[in-house]
Amino acid sequence: MDAPDVINWMKEGELLLTTAYAIRDSPEEFVNLLQKLNERGASGLGIKLGRYWAEIPEIALLEADRLGLPLIELPFQFTFSEQITALYQSEFQRDTRRLNELLETQKKLVDFAMQADEYTNYFQSITSILGVPLAIVTSEGQTLYNMTRCSDMELLSDWPWNQDNRFYKSASNLLYRVPLLKNGKSYGYLLIQTENLLEAHEMEGIFHQAAVILSYHLEVIQNQEATAAGSRLGTAMERYLKGNASLKTVLEFAEALGSTFWSTPYVCMVSSS
């Protein structure tokens, strides 16, 4: 800032750096500047003391505290260009480091998907890879796994859910919910507990990658359960046909397995082949 009307070009979230030249004659103008910065949603004011102000006026300090607007004393011996360059370098290094971390997490998920087998504990493994607490809920509202701070009842407080991705709060904990879908069929939901909304947004792509892996896993489990249930029901029917079990027993067994086989009219036939 050199010109007093610089506020007209300020954008939300920006940090203003100044030598205080435009407000050098009036502490009240300093206060007025702070108020305008606050209205613009500025992130703070960096002021280089030693040229026009020897120290920040008390009236300005009180107003900054009232507004919750950070005031940063900039070192006089460094130019603005040096300070801005340092800020950009710090941000660039942070972004590069974060990108490498995300790429490494993606690589771990891919390696896991390629190497996992029927004996792998998918839920614990993906929790370890993502490095955040998570929960898995079936499409029927049954909690299969929960490492979040929420109880099962708190997780399902607003059940049933829509098939969409969203951030929401449950028992004062921020959660990100991802539907577990495969070929248009719902297998449940992945819930990720997060402390940092910005980092959670950065990891949305990875959360969805984990959801794809979990959807495949839950599909396999469901198919295995259906096959096993069909086999057990077939054994029960065979016992009935041989006269070793009553029809009531078979129907009760089918109901316990969740089978709807006898909910519609049917014809029972015995073949010699």
Q: Which of residues 166, 191, 216 is at a domain's end?
A: 216
| Contacts (Cβ under 8 Å, ≥6 apart) of 144 | 123, 136, 137, 138, 188
> What are the residues whose beta carbons fall under 8 Å from the beta carbon of 2, sequence distance 6 or more?
18, 19, 21, 22
In the chain, how many domains are there? 3
271 in a structural domain: no
Domain that holds residue 240: 225-256
pLDDT in tens, the chain (273 residues): 666 678 888 889 998 888 877 777 788 888 888 899 999 999 999 888 877 778 888 998 999 999 999 998 888 877 778 878 888 898 888 888 888 888 999 999 999 888 887 778 888 999 999 999 999 998 888 898 999 999 988 888 888 888 888 888 877 788 999 999 888 888 889 999 988 877 788 888 999 999 999 988 888 766 655 655 566 667 777 777 777 778 777 777 676 666 666 677 777 777 776
State the CATH number of the domain containing residue 158.
Answer: 3.30.450.40
Closest CA to 191 of 222, 148, 254: 148
Whether residue 230 is contained in a domain is answered as: yes
270 falls within a domain: no
With respect to residue 82, please indicate whether it lies within any of the assigned structural domains. Answer: no
Measure the CA–CA gap between 155 and 136, rounded to whole angstroms: 10
Provide the β-strand partners of residue 175.
Answer: 168, 193
In a domain, 110, yes or no: no
pTM of the full structure: 0.57
